[in-house]
Chains A and B, each alone.
Chain A
């Protein structure tokens, strides 16, 4: 059994020193947590909750910062991390596609919307450009799997 810390504190304040010692001895004999222990435990729980909240806020701050850094480039060039995603495009037309994206980014989107929204646009176009190639690749893979299944592999 545990004491409600606030109630325990109020109750304790009403006891004299002797009364307090007797009361706590009785609690110990009964296997009930003492008022002091309850107070300490309540304080520790509150402190742990506050620390967990601080850690959560810090983690959210770091994630938001990383996302903003990924989206916004330091200069007028497109966001560099997006280039890694564009490597998924087959070599045949990769450079021409990236060139088209960069041209539209620099000549149309960046002057009109600024670096943050232009970066956002670039990431959106990157994933949208990759989609059809991934789908094409998937159909090729699934197609072979279906053929192998058909011939009893």
Chain B
């Protein structure tokens, strides 16, 4: 059985952020990631929490970033787009499979 190294472990919020980025595709930057988490996961998160998580994931090599365009609404500040790397996808897949493996055979009321 393949063991997950400590460094590969993804926390719950990290998984949510990575999934939000994958859902958004090319338009994943701070504001849209936060909005996606609020709309889909029904979870309220501050921009500070989102960005500290993005920084942590980028440092681990699970995300890459690229500076985007400057707009007037942003007061002349550039967007920073994020993308999940191949390593990030592999680690995310492992984390989700772990949850599914633990979930197998467990009966929760009201949950299919």
Contacts and interface: CB of A to CB of B under 8 A. Distances in A.
Interface of A: 77-78, 89, 92-93, 95-104, 106-107, 125, 128-133, 136
B4 interface: no
13 contacts: A93-B54, A95-B78, A96-B30, A96-B78, A100-B30, A100-B47, A100-B74, A101-B47, A102-B75, A102-B77, A103-B71, A107-B73, A128-B48
Nearest to B72: A106
Interface of B: 29-31, 34, 46-49, 51-52, 54-55, 67, 71, 73-75, 77-80
Identify the 6 closest CB pairs spanning chains A and B, nearest first: A99-B77, A129-B48, A99-B74, A128-B46, A100-B30, A100-B31
A96 B80 contact: yes
A93 B51 contact: yes
Contacts of A100: 29-31, 34, 47, 74, 79
Contacts of A106: 73
Contacts of B78: 95-96, 99
A132 B71 contact: no
A97 B47 CA distance: 7
A89 B51 CA distance: 10
B18 to A, nearest CB: 17
A104 B51 contact: no
Where chain A touches its partner, the secondary structure class is helix
Nearest to B32: A100
Most buried by B among A103, A104, A133: A103
A97 B74 contact: no
Contact of A103 (B31, B51, B67): B31
A106 B72 CA distance: 10
Contacts of B47: 97, 100-101, 125, 128-129
Given A99-B78, A100-B47, A103-B31, 16 more contacts: A89-B48, A93-B80, A95-B77, A98-B75, A99-B74, A99-B75, A100-B29, A100-B74, A100-B79, A104-B31, A125-B46, A125-B47, A128-B46, A129-B47, A129-B48, A131-B49
B29 A96 contact: yes
A133 B31 CA distance: 17
A99 B48 contact: no
Nearest to B44: A128
A23 to B, nearest CB: 75
A103 B55 contact: no
Contacts of A130: 48
